[in-house]
Structure 1
Amino acid sequence: MASLSAPTLLTLQWVLVAITMGSIWMIEEVDGSGGIGRQHREFDYFKLALQWPGTFCQRTRHCCSSNACCRGSNAPTEFTIHGLWPDYNDGTWPACCTKSNFDEKEISTLRSALEKYWPSLSCGSPSTCHGTKGLFWAHEWEKHGTCSFPVVQDEYSYFLTTLNVYFKYNVTKVLSEAGYVPSNTEKYPLGGIITAIQNAFHASPELACSKGSVQELYLCFYKDFKPRDCAVGSNIGLEMINSKSSCPKYVSLPAYVSSGLDGVEMNSFMDA
């Protein structure tokens, strides 16, 4: 039997290590200029990022048709979707994993649901992975959705899957049933909010706050979309500290109220 060369042995050793560590499916990351960047291994879990519109919309200084904060009585009054993000257990994440450009026609049948539950809360056009500006949805698909393979196969599936997970794990309903409702006067215990979600989904969320108000809330899932703690192993304590470092012990869930911006008459966020 012929002996293996040193390079061949090194290659076999690398493959064995990779198999031991887990899946070795590799994805190409596309940088902002459209060129091929470094490669990434398959992600470890999903993070569903949700936005509290009352906190975001308080920053609104002018209105436009793309900003859901400008819809008056039809403005969102519950958590809306920021994105579904493939993440790694070490706190990093893959981004811009293929050259798949966002195609709005692919999600035309989902548009009404996306406008309501996954709207943009600003008038800006975020950057895409190809050095251009585009819709909020384009940014989320190109930066995060393209990294969700092999669980999610294409653009349509990414948006539909995210909507389904959002509906199934209805954070706004859970908090409302626990007595945590939008208010510009009440403050709620952070620990109570976390406990309510833990009791409902049997997993720990993460929260981020801005000036004492809940800004974003994150739910985490295994690849089969069963809930899991957002923190991992020895990081559980650290992640909870991080949540509390940006959120005080008592937090607000503000209801956005405006009498009109840039000539657009706007009603209370609570009118809907």
Structure 2
Amino acid sequence: MASPNREVLPLISLLFSLFCLIETNNGESIVSTVNEGLEAQREFDYFLLSLQWPGTVCRRTRHCCASNGCCRRSNAPAGFTIHGLWSNYNDGTWPACCSGPSFDIKEISPLLEGLQKYWPSLSCSSSSTRHGKKGLFWAHEVEKHGTCSSSVTRDEYSYFLTTINLYLKYNFTEILTEAGYPPSNSERYPLGGIISAIQIAVGATPTLVCSHGAVEELHVCFYKDFKPRDCIIDSSSHENMVASSSCPRYVSLPEHTPVGLGGVISNPWLDQVEAI
């Protein structure tokens, strides 16, 4: 379940869908169709907690700004940060941009300190929200994904609080460090070892997304009562039974070094990854 593929839906859904603008990390917008009509009425089956590894994601930073967590010299993210809590179907599809109120930052004002620390944006670009508007990364996540899980997470405040609590309950950076896989710019770790460490700690099989041999995202799945469950993965091959095919047998967990405001990063393998 590599993250870029989440924006691709079967053509048949075009008959029942509206358009949802999705913004890429370089600020360009593309149009992706979502089942806001037919699919949004179907109750979702499970949650996917998506976490980002700043040491990999921040390598795509072209310039720094105050809103980009990659640029912090104080309280710089040293391990996994939250990408989002996504509702999914067992058949491999997912609802998006469901009906519900628009994002209101005043609703989550008591959570802002925690959101800045655990759920920072790792980009300077504004994120696309419903109806073609631009806004905060948090607005994107709650309007695109949180609205589709309201039967469980209820309102905006509860969605963010639930996600933060789930993230804190399972400190995956600490889990990997204690298993012998700390952040490192020189070491490469066995993919199977990382998967096993999380399986032992959580009791369910996660999936990983990699970029150029480095861990980029960790996906951990939960039933609607937030008990861990295996993530839906491609069972056509043994390799995909344990992790995304984007990951090699040995992967890195690069350390993140913030550039600081005004800094410019030049990286030979900058690529475009959609903000999902």
TM-score range for the pair, normalised by the shorter chain length: 0.7 to 0.9
CA contact (8 A) 1:51 1:81 kept: yes
* Normalised TM-score (structure 2): 0.79
Counterparts of residues 1-272 of structure 1 (less than 5 Å): 31-32=19-20, 37-40=36-39, 41-231=42-232, 235=235, 240=240, 243-257=243-257, 262-263=262-263
CA contact (8 A) 1:61 1:261 kept: no
Q: Which runs of 5+ in 1 are unaligned?
A: 1-27, 265-272
Q: Deviations over 1:113-156 (max 9, x none)?
A: 00000000010111001210100000000000000021111000
* Deviation (angstroms), 1:243: 2.9
Q: Deviations over 1:42-77 (max 9, x none)?
A: 100000000000001111121101000111142100
Structure 2 letter corresponding to 1:56: V
CA contact (8 A) 2:76 2:258 kept: no
CA contact (8 A) 2:55 2:254 kept: yes
* Deviation (angstroms), 1:112: 0.3
- Per the alignment, residue 5 of structure 1 pairs with none
CA contact (8 A) 2:47 2:88 kept: yes
Structure 1 letter corresponding to 2:206: P
Q: Which runs of 5+ in 2 are unaligned?
A: 1-15, 22-34, 265-276
Q: 1:102 to 1:29 in 2, by over 3 A?
A: farther
C-alpha RMSD of matched pairs (Å): 2.2
- Per the alignment, residue 6 of structure 2 pairs with none
- Per the alignment, residue 269 of structure 1 pairs with none
Choose between structure 1 and 2 for higher RCO, CA contacts under 8 A separated by at least 6 residues: 2
Tell me which moved more, 37-46 or 150-159.
37-46
- Per the alignment, residue 11 of structure 1 pairs with none
Q: 1:239 to 1:82 in 2, by over 3 A?
A: farther
Q: Deviations over 1:208-237 (max 9, x none)?
A: 0000000000000000000000026x8485
Structure 1 letter corresponding to 2:149: S
CA contact (8 A) 1:52 1:214 kept: yes
- Per the alignment, residue 21 of structure 1 pairs with none
Q: How many residue pairs end up in the alignment? A: 234
Structure 2 letter corresponding to 1:102: F
Structure 1 letter corresponding to 2:37: R
CA contact (8 A) 1:30 1:96 kept: no
Partner of 1:224: helix, strand, or coil? Answer: coil
CA contact (8 A) 1:30 1:99 kept: no
Structure index of larger Rg: 1
Q: 1:151 to 1:66 in 2, by over 3 A?
A: same
Alpha-carbon distance in structure 2 between the residues aligned to 1:241 and 1:199:
16
Q: 1:223 to 1:189 in 2, by over 3 A?
A: same
Alpha-carbon distance in structure 1 between the residues aligned to 2:47 and 2:80:
18
CA contact (8 A) 2:208 2:218 kept: yes
Q: Deviations over 1:163-222 (max 9, x none)?
A: 011111111111011011111000000000000000111100000000000000000000
Tell me which moved more, 215-224 or 96-105.
96-105
CA contact (8 A) 2:127 2:140 kept: yes
